[in-house]
Amino acid sequence: MKTKDMSYSEAIRDAISLKMHEDEDVFMLGEDIGVYGGAFGVSRGLIEEFGPKRIRNTPISESGIAGAAVGSALTGMRPILELQFSDFITIATDQIINQAAKIRYMYGGKGKVPMVLRTPSGSGTGAAAQHSQSLEVWMAHIPGLKVVQPSSSYDAKGLLISAIEDDNPVIFYEHKLLYGMKEPVPEELYRIPLGKAAIKREGTDVTVIATSIMVHKALEAAKQLEREGIEIEVIDPRTLVPLDEETIIASVSKTSRVVIVHEAVKRAGFGAEIASVIVESDAFDFLDAPIERLGGKAVPIPYNPELEKHAVPQVSDIINAVKRTLQRGEEV
């Protein structure tokens, strides 16, 4: 495949463009996604490419946007809706949880809702308490929804194409700090299956399971730990629902130690679900130390840059957790 350096946002835009050229039923709707190009510029240029009928600006009504997407999906379209910030998913929860997620079940499979809800999430941009949350675990709890969290340009493009082609509603979380990150990405259309994790780095001492922006922090921690002779394996689930339990179990069985890290609040975060998968599997018998979990502190994300940084896990926190689990393993 011929590749091109693409930022995370460019890879997402490329996936949308390719699918819209391929399938006339695919269209976008959301606030300011036309000439303005969306809150983070992801849809920039698409209205010139496809026109206002397929790149549809909407009023400021997240519930209305989601409802229109559900209705159009039921009639055979494949809508991609953009919410400007993932915090605003709270306004659209009835349409997402009681309609999109349930209709296929309620209609005995005769109705389907093939829609993708794209939304920027996470902290690090000084957007403060109401525009910086990581609420993905809410959606992961709902039967009928699929939840995707790509950490790289390559993954974002391949996963979004698969999400658009899926006949179920997919919530597609895009961390704001990833938008500018670049890497080589195939120019042509390709797919990454939903439910397949990626081993971002192989190692033998500790498994670090990280999501979204935390994958990059885990990889940086791995570089620093390597200088001390510690080799960590970094697993990126990529999709929370469906979750690739097999890859997680295999890695933990190999290393016998695990650290789980996500930006969302630690309490009741998705890391607890991953930990449950491990302890309920054969991997539990291989553990040489208790599972370590890292997550955001139970506070609203602050506006102050230093406080914002301390509210979520950093590279140093991952390094300390890895060393802690190695030390506890020796004690056992």
DSSP characters over 142-179:
STT-EEE---SHHHHHHHHHHHHH-SS-EEEEEEGGGT
Secondary element (H or E) of residue 181? none
**Tokens encoding 141:** 């709890």
Of 98, 54, 104, residue with least CA distance to 79: 54
User: Using omega within 30 degrees of 0 as the cis cutoff, is the peptide bond preceding 242 cis?
Assistant: yes
231 counts as catalytic: no
Backbone angles phi, psi at 69, to 5 degrees: -65, -45
**Whole-number Å distance between alpha carbons of 213 and 42:** 18
Residues in contact with 307: Cβ distance below 8 Å, sequence separation at least 6, in sequence order: none
Of 131, 175, 216, 262, the active-site residue reads 131
141 counts as catalytic: no
Backbone angles phi, psi at 249, to 5 degrees: -65, -40
Catalytic residues: 62, 131
